[in-house]
Chain A
Amino acid sequence: MSAGTEFDAPTRPVAPARTSARDSSASWRLTDRIGLALAWTLGVGFLLVTGGIVLYLMIQGVRFVKPELFVTSPSAGFSESETGGFLDPLIGTFAMVVIGMSIAFPLGLGIAVWLSEYGNPSWAARITESVIEMLAGTPSIVFALFGMLLFQSPILGFFSQSMDGVVYGRSFLVAGIMLSFIALPLIVANVREGLQAIPGHVREASYAVGKTKIATTRRVLLPAARPSVMTGAMLGVGRIIGDTAVIILLLGATLKMVPANHTPILGALQGTGSTLTSFVYQNAPTGEANQPEKAFAAAFVLLSLVLILNVAVNITVRRGRKMAWGS
């Protein structure tokens, strides 16, 4: 343990050196012992609750997951055998991620780089910072309402279906664009943190060999901050996958994908559809379509996606820690 005194350096302990005292808690004051006991209880409690939720959904879902569900579209029907699978919602979720991230990722990366590497004038940086922070705190239902308002205006008719001058305002494109706002702050925050954790001497070394600022950012800083970039991106994807409010209001309530016109791909993106979240919402016993087996199977898939993403984030974070900049 180096006896460092400069606390202003962004220190993230490589392996958190814990207080190594071996004192047993038996000698502690009662309140302290209660505190420790509470910490244990709550820690274990969290494990149990999460484990319980995951197990419940796994058990409920895994019974109903069949391979054919992944390749058949939902179809209109009134019994579990007629209603098809969740191919369309799967594609929908995928499409949301692609649209949302293809906007949020470059934008977030750009904003983070600007904030961390340029950021002048400083008042503009401060405003941007607060705006991004505000974005992180904005309820998704507000994005949904704003999206509805915005995309029903005839000028933006391109993004959804329009008929005789009346703009429908609900489509994959519209929902994806609004979802990108939800992912954006997560990307900005994480990329920025990653960039800021890179010590100044790395930049100086790059400038010394004659690289420009932007070249340094692209060739040195961003690659070095890759774990943070990845973490931000995956957290963003997680939020997009899990969102329900925006999807319910802006994607339309059709379980199948209904293209707006016959242009391939673009027509579908201008049309309506569903995602796994809205599929669960509709098919749950509480929903309109009420096909609980399908709902639980889809919830299982949704949860599995979330799980996989989490494992991925975890691995990236661990790897990131390993290559943290020691001093």
Chain B
Amino acid sequence: MAHPSVDPLAADRGSNGDRRAERLLGALVAITVALVLAMIVFVLREGWPSFAHNGWSWFGGGGNVDRQTEAIFTSANFNRSWVYEFHAWPIIWGTLLVAGLAVAVSFVAALFVAVFVVEFAPDWMRFILEPVIRLLASIPSVIMGLLGVLLVVPFINDVLIDDEARRSVKYIVSLNGYSLLSGVFVLSLMVAPLMVAVFVDGLRSVPRNWLEGSLGLGINRWRTFWKIGVRTARPALVAGTVLATARALGEVVMLAMVCGGVGFAPNPKDGLIFFLEPTKPIAAAILQSAEELTSPPMRDTIFAMASILLLSSLALSLAGWAAKQPMKKYGVRA
């Protein structure tokens, strides 16, 4: 927010150029905000017919979501009356699983790495590690997808899956490395660095004398940092997690390449095989059907899927905003 303590002299306030500048900036802001709000309205409105037709069962399971997609766009292509039936649960579940697991894994990894970077790494190591992590965060997703298909998927197929496991589910899905696991693994590599960056910022701004107090009491460095540093930086942890979740939900190209593309909801009851089952997150589903945007019912369905992504990012940013509030009084920024 604006610096409340610094208000220019009242005389300056009245200055003409200043007024104009403020108005100009305000207009810029207003236009941007209006555009974004327009985007939300547009996307929701375009997706509405799909929601309206299915009601709450849009979010439910039932039938094969891939087949439903096919029926939707072929209905228009073949001049039949438009079909709208769509039960998105498998792709919603797939999104939750892929993003959730990747964020969970990344959270643990990023927390340790951030603590390491801020407190325990030798200087030379920190000097390398920080830029390297930033580099990892900025590798384009198409490259990550390519590496996933060429390296991760075959590795999982050759090493982690045996014929026994394949046979156990062979009538339902193929276990061939295109899986939840490969998606989660590659996605973790993409979002963990984002989290590390935010966590490191948060941990760095923990007031030193709090830590020193603890050390003075003879508590060891690890425990001190873990109990006091990490706790104090909790809002930063939340903020980083929110950022990473948003990115994970929105990842498209990589997930479309490595997850297997079947609208299948991996079943935790299957035991460890669960991780090797294929799935399809919403963003990947959108990319795959984007070529059918010309088919009106498909277009509505695609925008309905996009609305879900948009609404979740809205909810996430609200959560992130709420999480940052308590942090402000410590001057901790994330």
Contact = CB atoms under 8 A, between A and B. Distances in A.
Interface string B108-139: 01001101111111000100111111111011
Interface stretch (A50-58, A67-75, A79-87, A94-102): A50-58
Question: How many interface residues does chain A have, given as a range?
Answer: 35 or more
Contacts of A214: 17-18, 21-22
A203 B5 CA distance: 10
B116 to A, nearest CB: 4
B42 A242 contact: no
Contacts of B207: 7, 11
Interface stretch (B154-162, B215-223, B262-270): B215-223
A310 interface: yes
B12 A142 contact: no
A280 B2 contact: no
Contacts of B119: 18-19
Interface in A135-151: 135-146, 148-150
Interface stretch (B52-60, B77-85, B141-149, B166-174): B141-149
B29 A213 contact: no
A168 to B, nearest CB: 13
Contact of A130 (B134, B145, B151, B317): B317
Interface stretch (B30-38, B63-71, B86-94): B30-38
A47 B250 contact: no
Interface string B216-260: 000011111110000000000000001100110111110001000
B1 interface: yes
A261 interface: no
Contacts of B272: none
Given A36-B222, A47-B128, A50-B135, A137 B246 contact: yes
A307 B37 CA distance: 35
A136 B290 CA distance: 23
A119 B1 contact: yes
B223 A32 contact: yes
A46 B140 contact: no
Contact of B133 (A50, A118, A122, A125): A50
B246 A116 contact: no
B84 to A, nearest CB: 18
Given A7-B331, A49-B189, A43 B113 contact: yes
Nearest to A54: B135
Interface in A273-327: 277, 280-281, 284-286, 295, 299, 302-303, 306-307, 309-311, 313-314
A40 interface: yes
Interface in B283-307: 283, 286-287, 290, 293, 302-303, 306
Interface string A2-33: 01000111111100111101010101110011
B205 interface: yes
B129 A47 contact: yes
A159 B287 CA distance: 23
A242 B196 CA distance: 20
Q: Which residue, A57, A148, A242, has most C-beta atoms of chain B within 10 A?
A: A242
Given A131-B37, A146-B306, 13 more contacts: A10-B333, A43-B113, A46-B196, A111-B29, A122-B1, A131-B32, A136-B317, A141-B309, A184-B32, A238-B138, A244-B142, A248-B287, A310-B131
16 contacts: A19-B119, A36-B222, A39-B120, A43-B129, A46-B193, A54-B135, A114-B22, A116-B2, A120-B2, A122-B2, A137-B320, A141-B309, A145-B306, A200-B3, A213-B21, A286-B146
Q: Which 5 A-B pairs rank lowest in CB-CB distance, beginning with the nearest?
A: A139-B250, A137-B246, A242-B140, A119-B2, A214-B21
